[in-house]
Structure 1
């Protein structure tokens, strides 16, 4: 059984009886088979009279041979072979034409099509040559001997070449259409996959933005509020003993609160102004363009958030705030001070800030060393505290810990290609170290 391009095209529209894909195809083949059977029956009647056999047998043979055309879609080779076999009886001309067309339009190898077409050509040539020769010899045709080969060649080519070429053209066109449909389906599947990946990238970008905002909120709130709690605890301890110091601590608490509110207001302002834009940039282009737009949108969202933030020039002020809260802090800077990229300076500042916040929470009153080193291709920072004293007035602050400070610092540094290490020291303190590329 072979499959033609016509069958593949018809398979898209419906189902028909037996081996037909559509009822219209079945009706067409049955109609062609009926016409072929009538033609072969009439030709079989004449052939039987010339051959001296019962005419009824010739008619039945012709009808049976002509009705084979109904199998042209399922077995085109059989149809062509039957048409070649009945050519000597001068019957089956319609079957030759339709059979060759169906054969050429099928997916059979070209060598088989060429061989069967050559056999049909030679058979038609011989039969036509013999018939014309007899007609000229018997005086039925008033032409010269030159007409016999000319007529035989012309007739054989006329019956075999047009249906063969038409079938080859139709088959090639159908295969091309099938190839285009398959490519269109493949492109549709690829676009669907790209849309799915874009949605995943959009969700990833939103998750990254939520994580970044959470880190910023943690850095802003944790440090300022920790200092406020420390000052409040100290204020409670000295309120009656040293009113002047209590007033100073109260002023510091007010300053810390105002600074925290200012930073929170700036951050919320960025979120409000960039919410609609970021959402449109991160979601709408993703479904339409694909993964490249998702990456661009995620970079835009990150850049919008990184536009504001602290820098290394504010590091002395940060250390001074911790010193004002009662912490003994030693700040040392090595190397030539120079400007860095905004995200590098912001990350370095946040690492020191979070490390000092952790000292306030877990080692109140401990002496702390902050070291900053400007190197050729990187910037390094280290915050190390000594073991905390057993009794400290600040320890009564009872600062809570969210447990995400170190994780946030490590994520920040890793995002810039740096290295982050933290852990206890042999002396019983704690050390936080980070190295960030300067590029």
Structure 2
């Protein structure tokens, strides 16, 4: 039964994300407004990733504490991390709003379009939701740690649903402009955060005091692990979007349409099965049996790759059909070349296929708490991607960024594969030494 519910939620998730792209695609095209919206979402994503640095390893430590000290102690661990997550996100929210006000007051520091973006005050309406995101992200990990994947996936829907509601209301002129989109997003996020947190706290009772919870080690490991992830995400989000903002108006939107469409397919293809995969890895690691991961890797990859391939074929054929019909009947008013858009989709889909293969080795390294590997791999990715993107930016072509991402990801894949083999060898040696 849970499997059917999981699949329904996965379908609902992709529907929401694709509808957001379609609403923007058909109602707004590629212009300064959509550029500003995508840039705001990129900055918001970076700040959300910074919040995750305070509790990224929650699933691993929660299961470790539950196995060693029992469920009650693990529940106390959740209470403590909840306070940490709330404080971290509140502080980051205040600092971010203050930083934007400062940069807005300094004239000539940025380019004309970046300065106009800051002065539009769009970001502030989204930033109000940062603390809500912190609560939702932690509650998602809490249910994931308990193996309650369906509940976990419900929480993942909240941010996407919040964006969808805002864009839907903007597209049908119920609200005015992307600033109001941010307000709708923030209100919905807070409703979701407060509701889910109340349900957890009201159902599960335990002491706040948490002896032997390794909070310091947990925070340090989460910080280092997420720092490695953030090197990847920040280099991609900020470098890509701010370089694209300096190009012809609308190029930033075109890239984001393609990237976010493929990412929606990636999420629904990988998300549910990856949660099960990570849960099984955590269970194996708690029993010192991580070397047996291959028993559930093949089903995971088979399901994820097959679904991702099918969904991308459907997406590309849909764009082909729209392009064909538009050439005959002029049924849609898109202010950019759909042929270039199709090529962009193919390159980004190939790039994300590598990410799916890489996710096996990333999962092993996360579960083994080998945080330094992320620093190494993602530092290399960031350096390669930034160098390629910057050197190719003079072409003023959106395709070069997807090619830069593909090549950088290929290098990252081989690095993770190599280091995960070392992790498994080291654990096998430790198991032998215990005998």
Check whether TM > 0.5.
no
Which structure carries more relative contact order (alpha carbon 8 Å, separation 6+)? 2
Structure having the larger proportion of residues in strand: 1
Q: Which has the higher Rg, Structure 1 or Structure 2?
A: 1
Higher helix share: 2
Q: TM-score, normalised by structure 2?
A: 0.22
